[in-house]
Structure 1
Amino acid sequence: MNRRTKTAVLGAALLLTATAAASATASDTPPVREAAALTGTAKLYRSAGDDITFTFDAHLAAEDTADPSKATGSFEFSHYLNGEGARAKARVDCLVTGGKVAVVSGVITETDLPGAKGKRVGVTVHDLGEHDRLGYSWAATKDLGPRNLPKCVSSAPFEKVAEGTGDFTVVPWNPAL
């Protein structure tokens, strides 16, 4: 091998080594984890055959760890029985999680339920793998509850998720206390 060829091969080898080292260093940097999250969809179990679905896409950014009211995202829910019912979509205004439990609240922005638009509602999820549970702020009221419901308020997760439908994921919140 002549001198030019040796120099070119050595240069290429050094370039490949430097590129590989830079790639390894970049991939060794762990991504910044969001402060809290609630995602997923499930249907609730009802013996009468009600079709009740909840879907969540709620997040609290790492830089907002100290303020759960800076959470973003949305959640949707619907309840139908014998072709009658309604659906609603809410803009998230608070998210607090602890372990595998999340409480999220939001203001309804889209709905076909008369009088519901603009109301704040809250939902609690317990992420138990195949046996997730769910509760909601209007559990003990005749309608969606008071317009002045505080942020991040809901009930205990008393409802069972229908078998095979729960895929909730809760990212636990770890605020500096």
Structure 2
Amino acid sequence: MNRRTKIAAVTAALLITVGAAGSAVASGDGKGGHREAAALTGSAKLYRPAGDDITFSFDAHLPAKDRNNPLAATGTFRYSHFKGDWGGTAEVKVDCLATGGKVATVTGVVTKTDVPGLLHKRVGVSVHDDGGHDRLGYSWAASDPTKDEVPPCNSVAPFERVKSGTGDFTVLPWQFTYPTE
């Protein structure tokens, strides 16, 4: 076999091996198991021309075993909003996560906060993971979470822009099992 033929054969074998490994990783967790059904991770600062310091961070997951039940999601998210002497923070225990493509909606109950009336209230956030142009929305843009009940997995559309260079959201699209009947 000449040198060119050997190189072509080895290259083809490598491509086939890499392609098969890539397919296995894409359909699982890379360790022989199944990947989680959905996830939202990352953090960003919102763009505000008036100088507000607004940060959101997410670590929300829906396990593969619960793929058809977004209410089985786990994890936390945090947010803070400060401007001058004014501001507050909240830590939220996730109670629902739904994703589709590069968009996620997550809700949870506030477990820690310095905002009066917010403790133990449900809030929701939506994220659009669009590379360098991420966007975010939050339920309190349309209602007062200290007075209004936010249903699980509900928020407003991601209308806020993320400050350039800060968004690193990753949305893992929801994989659920379609009913056959």
Identical-residue share of aligned pairs (%): 61
User: Which residue is equivalent to 1:104?
Assistant: 106
TM-score, structure 1 as length reference: 0.81
Query: Match for residue 42 of structure 1?
Result: 44
Quote the Cα distance in structure 1 between the aligned partners of 2:97 and 2:174: 9
- Structure 1, unaligned stretches of length 5 or more? 1-23
Following TM superposition, the consecutive aligned residue runs of length 4 or more in structure 1 with deviations greater than 6 angstroms are: none
Deviations 1:91-120 (A, max 9, x none): 000000000000000000000001000100
> What is the one-letter code of the residue matched to 1:133?
R
Residue 91 of structure 2 aligns with an amino acid whose one-letter code is K
Distance 1:87 1:110 in 2: 8
Report the CA distance between 1:175 and its aligned residue: 1.2
1:160 matched to which residue of 2? Answer: 161
Letter in 2 for 1:148: E
Amino acid at match of 1:98: G
**Contact 1:77 1:87 (8 Å CA) reproduced:** yes
Shift of 1:30: 3.6
Distance of 1:37 and 1:166 partners within structure 2: 16
User: Once superposed, what is the RMSD of the aligned Cα atoms?
Assistant: 1.7
Q: Does 1:118 align with 2:120?
A: yes
Q: How do residues 33-112 of structure 1 correspond to structure 2 at under 5 angstroms?
A: 33-112=35-114
C-alpha distance in 1 between matches for 2:127 and 2:121: 20
CA distance in 2, matches of 1:145, 1:122: 13
Deviation of 1:32 (Å): 1.5
Deviation at 1:145, TM superposition (A): 5.3
Deviation at 1:176, TM superposition (A): 1.6
For 1:94, what is the secondary structure of its paired residue?
strand
Contact map agreement 1:122 1:152 (CA 8 A) in 2:
yes
Distance 2:42 2:109 in 1: 19
**Deviation at 1:148?**
2.5
TM (norm. structure 2) is 0.79
Q: In structure 2, what is the equivalent of residue 18 of structure 1?
A: none
Structure 2 gaps, min length 5:
1-20
1:37 to partner: Cα distance: 0.2
Count of residue pairs brought into register by the alignment: 151
Alpha carbons of structure 1 residues 112 and 130: separation in structure 2 relative to 1, 3 Å = same
